[in-house]
């Protein structure tokens, strides 16, 4: 093994980027950066049936959106592309054949029908599914018979039983797995010539000199299988660290079947979450900052990350908690960054109606109320539409009252002297109208808000008036009065 820390994230492109995979990728990245090591992206794409380039792109796009960059890959003249297992088929087969020569593996001629029958019989007998190792010691005569039948063999790895496979896990401590629980001798090369995950991953990690494998605890039994292969290859295994799985509020494992798109990173990108917030939330799910901080940057997390501080307890994925993180980032990140990201969710509007300065002012006055950026479309609508629709209940219960009409008329009269561009001064004129009429609070502000935006709540009123400008305000105030048959 290299003295330099080398870690990897190795998703299978058989589905969209899962939030659990993203968290594992993040912990690998944090560990690598903390130790000035190397972080690698590798696609375990040997499932020729389920692997899909759409999923590959989704994984790459999701990691990049989250701000995670890898250090090694295939050089294609730009940002390095991830390594792919399908580029090493011959290499895997060569090593598997060497294991046959050394007595650690053998050809298995079982047909899919025979294996299905075996599994069904075990199920009917109430036994766990496992291969019965029937091809481990085939006679030459039997092999020749199967070959004459045209059977194409798989290659299986011998799993000695009874035996206890043990290792010290960097997160969970000492782990012991009885080899009888591993399902019998393992297929390592399918009859199609494609390497199975548990075999290919070992070869890749050896080839790439991986020093630490940080992944979900659902891989614990895989680790036991892989350690046996390391042993047969006389290779030193990496340090393993198994992170607790993500669960929902009811402590059920997060899965596409049970939770739909809510388990995919792409959903949160589409819904307008800040990648920095998502990354921060994922980091703190199972790791506690040594200073107890909740909000921190990726760079700061890299500096302070420690595997010893990663919890063994299930990580609860709480969308409300994520929403809190997201709202904090929307409020605190540079305004121009937030505004640029908001444009994606305002495509239905003509943004050229406002100058860059006014557009920034719109985002500035709205962002404190946002949980996700996608909410900006509804929150900002009244700034971009030609006219607003005032709900009937507001017209009859609010605007029809004489004080409301007085407020609107007074504001129309004050427009010529309104210092547009100065939100504080605009608000001061409204307050002066209230003082003149003996009105304040909702009696003063609600009629104006309703006429300008169609609702009684929203951003700072001074900002709203300042941004909308004289012509839009006058048009909407007069329309409100006209609607009440005042004009």
Domain boundaries, the chain: 6-78+246-316, 88-199, 334-380, 386-483
Q: Is the pLDDT of residue 487 over 70?
A: no
In the structure, what pLDDT confidence band is assigned to residue 2 with cuts at 50, 70 and 90? low
The CATH topology of domain 6-78+246-316 is Rossmann fold (3.40.50)
Residues 242 and 28: beta-carbon distance below 8 Å: no
The Cβ of residue 111 has, within 10 Å, a number of other Cβ atoms equal to 13
Residues 6 and 239: their CA atoms lie apart, in Å, by: 11
Rounded distance, CA 94 to CA 84, Å?
A: 17
432-438, long-range: CB within 8 Å, 24+ apart, which pairs?
A: 433/407, 434/407, 436/410, 437/403, 437/406, 437/407, 437/410
Whether 256 sits among the annotated catalytic residues: the reply is yes
Lowest mean pLDDT among 10-14, 239-243, 348-352: 10-14
Mean pLDDT of 217-233: 97
| Choice between 81 and 41, residue whose per-residue pLDDT is larger | 41
pLDDT value of residue 254: 92
User: Are 373 and 273 spatial neighbours (Cβ–Cβ below 8 Å)?
Assistant: yes
The active-site residue, picked from 64, 123, 209, 256, is: 256
For residues 159 and 130, what is the distance between their CA atoms, to the nearest angstrom? Answer: 12
Query: 25-77, pLDDT tens digit by residue?
Result: 999 999 999 999 999 998 888 777 788 889 989 999 999 999 999 998 654 44
At 121-171, the pLDDT tens digits run 999 999 999 999 999 999 999 999 999 999 999 999 999 999 999 999 999
Task: Determine which of 17-21, 87-91, 93-97, 307-311 has the lowest per-residue pLDDT on average.
Answer: 87-91
| Beta-bridge partner residues of 42 | 83
Provide the pLDDT confidence category of residue 463 given band limits of 50, 70 and 90.
very high
> What's the pLDDT score for residue 272?
97
What is the Cα–Cα distance from 400 to 397, expressed in whole angstroms?
6
User: Domain 88-199 belongs to what topology?
Assistant: 3.90.800
What CATH number belongs to 386-483? 1.10.10.350
pLDDT, residue 85, reads: 82
Q: Which of 87, 65, 83 is nearest to 11 (CA)?
A: 83
Query: Considering the chain, what is the average pLDDT of its residues?
Result: 93
Q: Peptide bond before 162: cis, by omega within 30 degrees of 0?
A: yes
**Which pLDDT score is estimated for 401?**
84
Predicted confidence at residue 78, as pLDDT, reads: 44
What's the pTM?
0.90
pLDDT for 79 equals 52
Question: What is the predicted pLDDT for the residue at 80?
Answer: 63
């Amino acid at each position: 093994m290299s003295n330099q820390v080398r870690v990897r994230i190795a998703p299978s492109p058989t589905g969209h980027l899962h939030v659990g995979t993203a968290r594992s990728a993040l912990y690998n990245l944090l560990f690598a950066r903390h130790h000035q090591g190397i972080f690698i992206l590798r696609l375990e794409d040997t499932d020729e049936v389920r692997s899909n380039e759409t999923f590959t792109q989704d994984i790459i796009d999701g990691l990049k959106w989250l701000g995670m960059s890898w250090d090694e890959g295939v050089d294609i003249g730009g940002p390095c592309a991830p390594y792919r297992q399908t580029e090493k088929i011959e290499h895997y087969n060569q090593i598997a054949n060497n294991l046959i020569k050394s007595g650690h593996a053998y050809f298995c001629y079982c047909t899919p029908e025979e294996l299905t029958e075996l599994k069904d019989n075990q199920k009917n007998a109430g036994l766990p599914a496992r291969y019965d190792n029937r091809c481990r010691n085939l006679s030459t005569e039997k092999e020749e018979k199967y070959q004459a039948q045209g059977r194409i063999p798989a290659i299986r790895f011998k799993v000695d039983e009874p035996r206890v496979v043990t290792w010290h896990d960097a997160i969970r401590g000492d782990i012991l797995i009885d080899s009888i629980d591993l399902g019998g001798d393992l297929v390592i090369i399918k009859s199609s010539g494609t390497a199975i995950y548990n075999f290919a991953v070992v070869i890749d990690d050896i080839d790439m000199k991986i020093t630490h494998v940080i992944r979900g605890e659902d891989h614990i039994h895989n680790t036991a299988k892989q350690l046996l292969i390391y042993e047969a290859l006389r290779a030193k295994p990496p340090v393993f660290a198994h992170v607790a799985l993500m669960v929902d509020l009811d402590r059920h494992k997060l899965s596409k079947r049970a939770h739909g798109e809510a388990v995919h990173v792409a959903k949160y990108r589409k819904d307008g979450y800040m990648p920095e917030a998502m990354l921060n939330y994922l980091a703190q799910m199972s790791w506690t900052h040594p200073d107890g901080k909740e909000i921190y940057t990726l760079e700061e997390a890299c500096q302070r990350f420690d595997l010893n501080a990663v919890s063994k307890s299930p990580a609860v994925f709480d969308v409300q908690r994520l929403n809190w993180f997201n709202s904090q980032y929307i409020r605190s990140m540079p305004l121009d960054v937030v505004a640029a990201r908001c444009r994606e969710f305002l495509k239905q509007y003509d943004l050229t109606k406002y100058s860059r300065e006014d557009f920034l002012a719109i985002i500035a006055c709205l962002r404190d109320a946002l949980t996700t950026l996608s909410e900006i479309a509804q929150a900002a609508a009244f700034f971009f539409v030609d006219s607003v629709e005032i709900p009937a209940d507001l017209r009859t219960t609010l605007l029809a009252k004489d004080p409301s009409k007085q407020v609107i008329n007074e504001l129309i009269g004050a427009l010529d002297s309104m210092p547009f561009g100065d939100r504080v001064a605009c608000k001061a004129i409204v307050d002066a109208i209230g003082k003149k009429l003996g009105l304040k609070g909702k009696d003063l502000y609600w009629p104006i808000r309703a006429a300008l935006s169609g609702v009684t709540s929203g951003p700072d009123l001074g900002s709203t008036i300042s941004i909308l400008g004289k012509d839009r305000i006058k048009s909407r105030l007069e329309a409100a009065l006209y609607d009440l048959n005042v004009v």
